[in-house]
Amino acid sequence: MTATEARGAKRKPAQIVDMSWDPITRIVGNLGIYTKIDFANREVVECHSTSSLFRGYSVFMRGKDPRDAGFITSRICGICGDNHTTCSNYAQQMAYGVKPPMLADTIVNLGEAAEYIFDHTIFQDNLVFVDFCEAMVKSTNPSVLARAERTEARNGAIHGYKTIADIMRAFNPFEGEVYKEALKVSRITREMFCLMEGRHVHPSTLYPGGVGTMPEPTTFTDYLSRLVRVIDFVKKAVAMNDDVFDFFYDALPGYEEVGRRRILLGCWGAWQNPDVCDYRYETMSEWGKAMYVTPGIVVDGKLVTNDLVDINLGIRVLLGSSYYEDWVNEQAFVTHDPLGNAVDMRHPWNQTTVPMPQKRDFSGNYSWVMSPRWYDKKSEEHLALDTGGGPLARLWSTALNGLVDTPYVKATGHSVQISLPKSEQLPEMTLEWKIPQWSNTIERDRARPYFVAYAAAMAFYFLEKAMGFVRAGETKVFENYEVPDEAIGCGFHEAVRGVLSHHLVIKDKKIANYHPYPPTPWNGSPRDMYGTPGPYEDAVMGQPIFEENGPDDFKGVDIMRTVRSFDPCLPCGVHMYLGKNQTLTKLHSPTYGAAHA
Amino acid sequence: MSGTTKVSQHPDRADQRSGFDEIHVLWISEGMSCDGDTISMTAAGQPAIEDIVLGLVPGLPKVNLHNKVLSPAMGGEDFLAPFRAAARGELEPFILVIEGSIPNQKIIQGDGYWTSFGNDPDTGKPLTLNWWIDHLAPRAWAVVAVGTCATYGGIHAMAGNPTGSMGLADYLGWDFRSQGALPIVNIPGCPIQPENFMETLTWLLYHAAGSAPPPPLDHMLRPQWLFGKTVHEGCDRAAYYEQADFAKDYNSPKCQVKVGCWGPVVNCNVPKRGWMSGVGGCPNVGGICIGCTMPGFPDAFMPFMDEPTGATFSAALIRPYGAVIRRLRGITNMAVNREPKWRHAKAELTSGYDAHWRP
């Protein structure tokens, strides 16, 4: 809170008003945001976020055939269900001791690449950008729009828009050019997805042990011919995003403080390298580092670990304010991992979910979500990692690791270089994402189109691999296996919006315990038993307000931009209500409380 | 300012319409759901949601869509305003779309809740989905259940679930009639096949405009033309079944009934229609049918990857017939793979040509 105290020197008497938005629109799932805003000093002093939905996957999975897990867990999420199926199959493949044929892993990689391109595009252009569109900026910051009209777009030669305001007009919902084009691109890329995984949202052709996708040459031709059609759009999107976001920094000095939090990023890695990955726990450290997005935990800009075994063992699911019974005195399912390391009672392998619906009580339990944290052995802290909405953590971890080296994507240690081939209108281009100064709203949003480019570039690479296998006659896509009587498994993947893990325990050939941990519980978690708040509240609380409207016609656009920058996907897990934030007492606000009148 | 943006042009061919000029679509996805049906709907290009919202289909009423994911509103009261107005009887006509299964509030002792949509303005307490259905369904011109969760219960209503979830017709009653005298319109699928939903919505809108009868539904309230055939009847792998030629694992392009496909007994058009724009699908592209459109989903079909009960018997019955047919077809296939012997490069015409031939 040092920043707040420093600003306190010239603080005006607080004028605090309750402001809430419930439900939040333009996200997937149910989320409410409750804030207290100090209009005199133009900042958010308190933020609660809530989701009011409990569905109970980890409850009704128990006792089921473990091979059903990928089909069922897909239904957790209506926009990235396939990420769950993929992650579940990774966990099952470990449990069953089966390595799918290399072509099968490559087909999954192609499907997941299409998913990233589709999902980031529809979320950014059709949902996030409405907060940056002409109609919105006109109603929240007319002076910024006036400036946008006068500001030439630096990358106009690439995307074709003369001024920043022209780009903002193209973002207008249902009518702007980019909005409409993005919907069409989201369909082409979903067709690419369906070619690999059968159906979009809940795939039909993914199985533990491989895929059922027919590896005909035509399958890949149909994918390739669609991919080349969207490359112009991808290149333009990066250029347009850079222009708009750079403009916001220029037009609103201090905008970097919006949604800023300590750099605490987690990435669990994406796209297996089938040359290295055998899905065994014993070799997970090696094959994790061979993934085409490198796993890593980044704290204050430094890479703490990139080892999936460390990442796995550090996961803790904490309670503190949730509608559940504690399980810490139950019997453990897994006391040690296959390498002999001790497994904590609060690790997902040992979690038991007993829901207890009750009245929302801010002084007691008020949340359906639990609080996943990563325990850092060195600092002995339970870190409230966020995913930066997905792309920010993926690019950051990959860049720092410097391990990815393909003809299309290279990590340099401080940046990621992405090469996209010639397209209909634009020449071959190499884009470079450089590690930014902040983990904030703008950088979370800016990373998204860069990751779309990353995924499109990797799709070319995976296509070349897949067609290579097919031309060589290596067309096997499924490997058979027996479900063991007893086994454990874990899968690590990147859902579109960030870290995803599935933990599985099998007894008597049935699921004894199953816990998916998607990105949103990490990002949207409530205060844990140690009093640490989750990333949404942390990012919103204390952020400055730049909107020109007063309390009477306040839209809350700066707050909504922060919340949406995390790409909230509430069905993925979340059942939460965050309570009063205790740091409020540190604020020196003499009229606090009285101002409600 | 909520719901959709300005649609400036007047609806086309308004003079020929005897029904409504304008209608609201109030879409609540706060059932036990993943929002996957809303997302799936955006995949449809035949027609696309923007075609409807922008008024590109002649003869339809002007449509004001209020859907959380696509709403330009910021959220909260701005977004809830039309829902609140409709609950007070101040906004009509509207089509109520419910996504997600309906949890059982009656099994909770005290003030807890499974799912909610906004708060009660007087008490600040969450308003449950059940409250909204109770207040909106009786006033709706039509009620649509989108996706298998809302139609029949689906995943969240599977055995062992803690929430007592059910389908909308289980909650409102199967004999429910809307203000427009329509039964609930069920569009199952986990998620909905995008075009199945948009096509049904479009039919309803023609009906709202007074230019079409209500959509024909079957006894499970599904559109007949979409769910009247089985997966198997539209599957391009069904010919393998006829020849008793079954896939033994997922590497095979043949009929998948032995490895878990329920297609022969499931009402769904996906293999025929594809998943979107004719691309993708289920058994037609190597994905077993797990019965995701069915009232018995998922329990009746689990474990998904085992041979369905009954398939052993029917596959045994078809085996002798299929074996003979396959062999006979093999022989004929060899015959028709040969070119006729008059095609040659010799200095002689042997095709049977006769310049003066008369019948």
User: Which of A20, A49, A124, A46 shows the shortest CA–CA distance to A574?
Assistant: A49
Give the gap in angstroms from C-alpha B343 to the nearest C-alpha of chain A.
32
**Predicted local confidence at residue A505, as pLDDT:** 97
> Could you tell me the two tokens for A102?
């290399």
Q: Do B279 and A30 touch (CB under 8 A)?
A: no
Chain A positions in Cβ-Cβ contact with residue B290 (cut-off 8 Å): 71, 204
ipTM: 0.92
Strand partners, A152: A163
Label residue A6 by pLDDT band (50, 70, 90).
Answer: very low
Q: Do B275 and A198 touch (CB under 8 A)?
A: yes
Give the gap in angstroms from C-alpha A399 to the nearest C-alpha of chain B.
32
A316-320, A517-521, B5-9: lowest mean pLDDT where?
Answer: B5-9
Nearest to B190 among A75, A126, A175 (CB): A75
CB A463 within 8 A of CB A224: yes
Chain B positions in Cβ-Cβ contact with residue A560 (cut-off 8 Å): 74-75
Chain B positions in Cβ-Cβ contact with residue A67 (cut-off 8 Å): 303-305
Q: Is A596 on the interface with B (CB under 8 A)?
A: no
Label residue A52 by pLDDT band (50, 70, 90).
Answer: low
Taking the C-alpha atoms of residue A503 and residue A343, their distance in angstroms, rounded to an integer, is 12
Taking the C-alpha atoms of residue A64 and residue A83, their distance in angstroms, rounded to an integer, is 21
Q: Do B126 and A198 touch (CB under 8 A)?
A: no
What's the whole-model pTM score? 0.93
pLDDT tens figures, B210-219: 999 999 999 9
Chain B positions in Cβ-Cβ contact with residue A559 (cut-off 8 Å): none
Query: Nearest residue of A to residue B194 by CA position?
Result: A200
Edge-to-edge strands, sheet with A315-318 = A315-318, A371-376, A381-383
Q: Which of A18, A37, A55 best tests the B interface by mutation, with the highest count of B CBs <10 A? A: A55
Q: Do A52 and B113 touch (CB under 8 A)?
A: yes
Give the gap in angstroms from C-alpha A300 to the nearest C-alpha of chain B.
32
**Predicted local confidence at residue B309, as pLDDT:** 87
CA count, 13 A, side-chain hemisphere, A331 = 2
**Predicted local confidence at residue A576, as pLDDT:** 26
Nearest to B303 among A23, A67, A130 (CB): A67
Nearest to B54 among A174, A190, A206 (CB): A174
A45-54, A62-71, A322-331, A483-492: lowest mean pLDDT where?
Answer: A45-54
Nearest to A30 among B30, B250, B304 (CB): B30
pLDDT tens figures, A217-270: 999 999 999 999 999 999 999 999 999 999 999 999 999 999 999 999 999 999
Does the pLDDT value for residue B254 go beyond 50?
yes
**Predicted local confidence at residue A20, as pLDDT:** 84
Q: Do A55 and B32 touch (CB under 8 A)?
A: yes
A306-315, A340-349, A350-359, A531-540: lowest mean pLDDT where?
Answer: A350-359
CA dihedral in degrees (A445, A449, A450, A452; nearest 10)? 130
Compute how many other C-beta atoms are within 10 angstroms of the C-beta atom of residue A246. 17
Q: Is A60 on the interface with B (CB under 8 A)?
A: yes
A296 φ, ψ (degrees, to nearest 5) = 175, 155
Chain A positions in Cβ-Cβ contact with residue B118 (cut-off 8 Å): 22-23
- With a CB cutoff of 8 Å and minimum separation 6, the contacts of B194 are B40, B41, B42, B43, B44, B275, B276
Q: Do B36 and A79 touch (CB under 8 A)?
A: yes
**Predicted local confidence at residue A366, as pLDDT:** 65
Q: Is A71 on the interface with B (CB under 8 A)?
A: yes
Does the pLDDT value for residue A499 go beyond 60?
yes
CB A524 within 8 A of CB A31: yes
Label residue A364 by pLDDT band (50, 70, 90).
Answer: low
Nearest to A21 among B32, B74, B298 (CB): B74
Label residue A532 by pLDDT band (50, 70, 90).
Answer: confident
CB A561 within 8 A of CB A19: no
**Predicted local confidence at residue A347, as pLDDT:** 97
Run of H or E including A409: strand A409-411
Ranked by mean pLDDT, which of A29-38, A380-389, B110-119 comes out on top?
A: A380-389
Q: Do B250 and A207 touch (CB under 8 A)?
A: yes
**Predicted local confidence at residue A31, as pLDDT:** 78
Q: Do B75 and A560 touch (CB under 8 A)?
A: yes
**Predicted local confidence at residue A369, as pLDDT:** 77
Label residue A57 by pLDDT band (50, 70, 90).
Answer: confident
pLDDT tens figures, A66-83: 999 999 999 999 998 999
Q: How far is CA A242 from the centre of its chain?
A: 20
Of the two residues A571 and A549, the one the predictor is more confident about is A549
Does the pLDDT value for residue A295 go beyond 80?
yes
pLDDT tens figures, B130-142: 999 999 999 999 9
- With a CB cutoff of 8 Å and minimum separation 6, the contacts of A163 are A148, A149, A150, A151, A152, A153
Edge-to-edge strands, sheet with A498-507 = A487-495, A498-507, A510-517
Average pLDDT for chain A? 90
A516 φ, ψ (degrees, to nearest 5) = -85, 135
Average pLDDT for residues B101-130, to the nearest whole number?
A: 87
**A contact residues 306-325, partner B, Cβ 8 Å cutoff:** 323
Give the gap in angstroms from C-alpha A110 to the nearest C-alpha of chain B.
15
How many Cβ contacts (< 8 angstroms) between chains A and B? 258
Q: Do B34 and A81 touch (CB under 8 A)?
A: yes
User: Which of A574, A513, A451, A544 shows the shortest CA–CA distance to A3?
Assistant: A544
Q: Do A78 and B43 touch (CB under 8 A)?
A: no
Domains, chain A, with CATH or none? 2-596 (1.10.645.10)
Domains, chain B, with CATH or none? 14-227 (3.40.50.700), 229-338 (4.10.480.10)
Q: Do B280 and A22 touch (CB under 8 A)?
A: no
Does the pLDDT value for residue B341 go beyond 60?
yes
**A contact residues 74-133, partner B, Cβ 8 Å cutoff:** 75-79, 81, 122, 126-127, 130
